[in-house]
Amino acid sequence: MTRPLLVFDSGLGGLSVVQALRESHPSGAIAYLADSAWLPYGTKPDSLLLDRIVGLLSDACTALAPCALVVACNTASTIALPALRDRLTIPVIGTVPAVKPACETSASKIIGLLATPATVNRPYIEDLMARYGDGVTLHRHGSAKLVLMAEAALRGILPDPAAIATELTPLTAVTGLDTIILGCTHFPLLRPALEAVAPTVRFLDSGAAIARRVRDVVPDWCDGPSCAFFTGREDTALLASALGAVGLPRCVSAWSPS
């Protein structure tokens, strides 16, 4: 029996992580689960999200029998990782913003964190800065609009450069800022548009680090078929190109693990 790697996000943002995983293991079996019925996570109360995430992923693990779980969502990782690790018997790999490499490589030591409103002020950001950010100044901006822009882009609606610029302005207006951490897995999907608006800024994300972690934790991740599952109703034909580009040729809409 093929045991896929279960990759979870609130929507399509986790495809940026799938892309990094494909560079490491092109033929690995992946079950991609998007809780699109509850998108976006970044505007919902933590208590509701915790119950939703733990319940959905517990049932999904029973139904799909994965070899490991990648929580490819910063918001879900900050809220639910401890509970998931207590509940599940498989390895659970979370998503951590690229604070360490940003602090280590910034020339100006002035960096930005671009994340969802639910992530940007989490205590664990302070913990990361305390560990790695000595002498570094961190500026933060929470954007739910960029999540929706990324979702739309994968459905063929190109992002408006003026709207992208507006969302970046709280960070790009900071004198000397040279690095922006993409603290939501949706945001790397907009990288070309972000770089066009802010060509002098480096954008860092966590995709490659997650792929390395999977390789270390799940060395026996097997080859096999892959599929995407959406809890909401989706136009699967509209998503076929984006999903196919990261090796997810099959798509199931309005999926429920029960």
Q: What is the CATH number of the domain that holds 53?
A: 3.40.50.1860
200 and 137 in one domain?
yes
Q: Quote the pLDDT of residue 1.
A: 65
| Catalytic site includes residue 61 | no
Same domain? For 110 and 198 the reply is yes
pLDDT > 90 in the chain, percent? 91
Same domain for 183 and 110? yes
Task: Choose, from 61, 67, 73, 103, the residue flagged as catalytic.
Answer: 73
Query: 176 and 217 in one domain?
Result: no
Cis check: omega of the bond before 101, within 30 degrees of 0: no
Q: Is residue 177 situated within a structural domain? A: yes
Among 251, 249, 248, which Cα is nearest to 22's? Answer: 248
Question: Which pLDDT tens digit goes with each residue over 222-247?
Answer: 999 999 999 999 998 999 999 999 99
Half-sphere exposure of 31 (CA within 13 A, CB side): 21
Number of domains the chain is built from? 2
The pLDDT of residue 258: 75
The structure tokens listed for 74 are 């910063």
Domain-embedded: residue 257: no
Catalytic residue among 61, 67, 103, 184: 184
Does the pLDDT value for residue 82 go beyond 90?
A: yes
Residue 186 assigned ligand-binding role: yes
Q: Does one domain contain both 150 and 197?
A: yes
Q: Residues 90, 104: one domain?
A: no
- Beta strands 110-115 and 92-93, pairing class: unpaired
139 among annotated binding-site residues: no
257: pLDDT confidence band, cut at 50, 70 and 90? confident
Question: Does residue 222 carry a catalytic annotation?
Answer: no
Residues 117, 199, single domain; the answer is yes
142 — phi, psi (to 5°)? -100, 130
Q: Is 10 assigned to a binding site?
A: yes
Question: Is position 63 within any domain?
Answer: yes
Strands 68-71 and 92-93: parallel
The contacts of residue 224 (CB under 8 Å, 6+ apart) are 2, 4, 27, 28, 29
- Whether 178 has a binding-site annotation, put simply, is no
User: How far is residue 204's CA from residue 113's CA, in Å, rounded to a whole number?
Assistant: 10
220 in the same domain as 167: no
78 is in an annotated binding site: no
Q: Is 236 a known ligand-binding residue?
A: no
Task: State which residues form the domain around 139.
Answer: 99-205
Could you tell me if 44 and 18 lie in one domain? yes
pLDDT in tens, 43-60: 789 999 999 999 999 999
Same domain, 193 and 212: no
Q: Are residues 212 and 235 in the same domain?
A: yes
